[in-house]
Amino acid sequence: MSVSASPTVATGAPLEVLKRFLGGTAATRPGPQCELCRTAIDDTHAHVVNLQTRALLCACRACYLLFTHAGAADGKCRAVPERYHALPAFELTPVQWDRLQIPVGIAFFFFNSVLARVSAFYPSPAGATESLLPLDAWQDIADANPLLRTLEPDVEALLLYRRRDRPFESFLVPIDACYELTGHVRRHWKGFDGGADAWREIDAFFARLRARSRPAGATP
């Protein structure tokens, strides 16, 4: 997801970028563009989260860096971090999972600062579907796994995966990775069990995630 760093924006200074984001518009150009300043970007661009709508905005590197600072754009948006960690020591029992009331074997959890609570979602053919999260069930898991306290609100998530009778896999990921996975499910899921194409895409996603993730605590 990383792209070449650039200290300036070709279409204006940082203040001008914020003005465009907060109310201005720019002429559209063909090809992928930064949704904040309309600079051309490639497919490996970063993202910024609109905290009110939960929408992901594609961003050039310069605009992305603007939103890494607290309070940018009146705190309406935050840059999505780029760290991926595998959590082999993550503690989660089948009983704890059942208490979460997630109907499938894939789910992601993040702290929603607007709602001031942890939100739980799972991928479905309809998109990211929210599951009502019993607070006591989540608290038990959080108490057993202090690493969850390091999750950046709104922009990082705990992603859990279990297929059939395999053990749970746990990852700390940027929130846009969760929505990428949701997109694969939405595009390819067919019928009750998803079909071979959907599970091929899901398995390929987690294969890439394992290859990209560092063990928790490793130096980037």
pLDDT tens digit sequence for 124-168: 999 999 998 887 889 999 999 999 999 999 999 999 998 777 788
Q: Helix 195-212 vs helix 175-188: angle between axes, to the nearest 10 degrees? A: 160
In a domain, 167, yes or no: yes
| Residue carrying structure tokens 């069990």 | 193
Q: Are residues 24 and 89 in the same domain?
A: no
Note down the domain range covering 70.
Answer: 14-79
Q: Are residues 95 and 112 in the same domain?
A: yes
Q: 10 Å Cβ neighbour count for 99?
A: 16
Q: Are residues 75 and 184 in the same domain?
A: no
In a domain, 7, yes or no: no
Above 80 in pLDDT, residue 16?
Answer: no
H/E run at residue 122? strand 117-124
Q: What is the pTM assigned to this prediction?
A: 0.81
Q: Are residues 207 and 117 in the same domain?
A: yes
What is the number of H-type helices and E-type strands within the chain?
A: 6, 10
Q: Are residues 104 and 54 in the same domain?
A: no
In a domain, 5, yes or no: no
Alpha carbon distance 147, 11 (integer Å): 40
Q: Are residues 64 and 119 in the same domain?
A: no
Alpha carbon distance 43, 28 (integer Å): 17
In a domain, 8, yes or no: no
Q: Given 79, 98, 119, which residue is the final one in a domain?
A: 79
Q: Are residues 134 and 50 in the same domain?
A: no
In a domain, 195, yes or no: yes
- pLDDT value at position 18? 52
Q: Are residues 74 and 91 in the same domain?
A: no
Task: Name the amino acid, one letter, at 111.
Answer: F
In a domain, 199, yes or no: yes
Q: Are residues 67 and 108 in the same domain?
A: no
pLDDT tens digit sequence for 163-203: 777 788 999 999 999 999 999 999 999 988 899 999 999 99
Spatial CA neighbour of 171 closest among 128, 130, 206, 131: 206
pLDDT tens digit sequence for 86-122: 999 999 998 998 898 898 899 999 999 999 999 999 9
Q: Are residues 56 and 143 in the same domain?
A: no
In a domain, 125, yes or no: yes
Q: Are residues 129 and 167 in the same domain?
A: yes
State how many domains the chain has: 2
Spatial CA neighbour of 37 closest among 50, 24, 47, 49: 24
Q: Are residues 51 and 157 in the same domain?
A: no
In a domain, 181, yes or no: yes
Question: 186-211: string of b/e by CB count within 10 Å (b at 16+)?
Answer: bebbeeeebeeebeebbeebbeebee
Q: Given 39, 64, 79, which residue is the final one in a domain?
A: 79
| Contact criterion met (CB below 8 Å) for 177 and 161 | no
Q: Given 31, 55, 79, which residue is the final one in a domain?
A: 79
